[in-house]
Amino acid sequence: MGIVISGLGHSASLAVNIASVGRWRLLRAEEKQFPDGEEYVRLRGSLRGADLYIVNSLYPPNDETLACLIAADAARSLGARRVTLIAPYLAYMRQDKRFRAGEAVSSRTVAGLISDRFDRLITIDPHLHRYKSLSEIYSIPTRVLHADKAIADWIGRKVKLPVLVGPDSESRQWVSQVAGLCDAPFGVMRKKRFSSTKVKSSGLDAKLVRGRDVLVLDDIISSGHTMAGVIEQALKLGAATAAGVGVHGLFVPGARKLLKGAGASRVVTCNTVANPTARIDIAPLIARAIGEDSK
C-alpha cells in the first residue's frame, strides 16, 4: 500500500500539509473523549500493508501521548506493516535525572512506552540536556530533524537588521548555526535559574543590539519568563525592536501576555505545536525526512 499519513490532536492540519507535500495518502483519524475522560481513537481507512506515519506533537503531553499509543495499537491490529511516530514536539524530556530520592525518571518511562509500540521515531529539536542522543532512552531507531534552516529563511524574509540572542550557554551552538544561515550577528547570555518561573539572564552587549532588530531564540517557549527578561534588557540597551522566536511554542497560561508586556514586537514559532504564533512551516522538512526514510 505504501506510505500513509495520519494526524492526531492539534497536529491534524500539519499532517494534511505533510501528505500534500509528499503526495501521500492521508488517513483521517476520529478522536473524542468518553464522558469519563477516556480516549477514543478511530483510524478511518484501510491500513493493510501500509507504512503508516502518525503525526502528533505530544502537547498537551498526557492526552496526546496516550492517544498515540492507542492509535499505534489500532494500526497494528488493522494490518499496518510499519508504524512510525512523527512527534514534532517530543514531550517528557524534562525529567532526565533523579534529582531527589524516590523521583521517577519519566523521560525513560515514556521512551519505553513509545519504543514498545512504534517502529521508528522522528522528532524536531528535542530537549536533549543530560542525554547525548535519544538512543540512550529509546530502543527503536530515532531521527532528529532541525528547524534551524526554516527559522533562518523566515528571518531572512521578515527582518531587516537582525541580531540573534541566545538566553544561555546551552543555546550557543544552535543560535550560532541559525545566525550563520541568515548571515546575522549573534550573542549569547548567561542564565541563572532560581525556580521554574524565576530566571535571570545577563551579559548582553549594548553595542551588539543598539539600533538593531533583536531576535531572542529559544528551543521551547513555555512560561516565557526567560525570553521576557532578555527582551526587556535588549530594549533598555537601545534595540530598535525585540522579538521572540522559538521552535516549540507551548505557552502556558499567561505566557503570551507576559511577552507582550515585556515589549515583544512579535513572537513567532514553528508549527511543531499548533498555536497562533506558529508561522514557520516545518511540513517540507518532515516530508523530506519521510521520503528519505522510505528509500
Catalytic residues: 191
Element housing 69 (H / E): helix 61-77
Of 123, 29, 121, residue with least CA distance to 70: 29
Burial class (CB in 10 A: 0-12, 13-18, 19+), 202: exposed
- Compute the distance between CA of residue 271 and CA of residue 264 in angstroms, rounded to an integer: 20
The answer for residues whose C-beta is within 8 angstroms of residue 26's C-beta and 6 or more apart is 4, 5, 6, 15, 16, 19
3-state secondary structure of 234: helix
- Strand, coil or helix: 187: strand
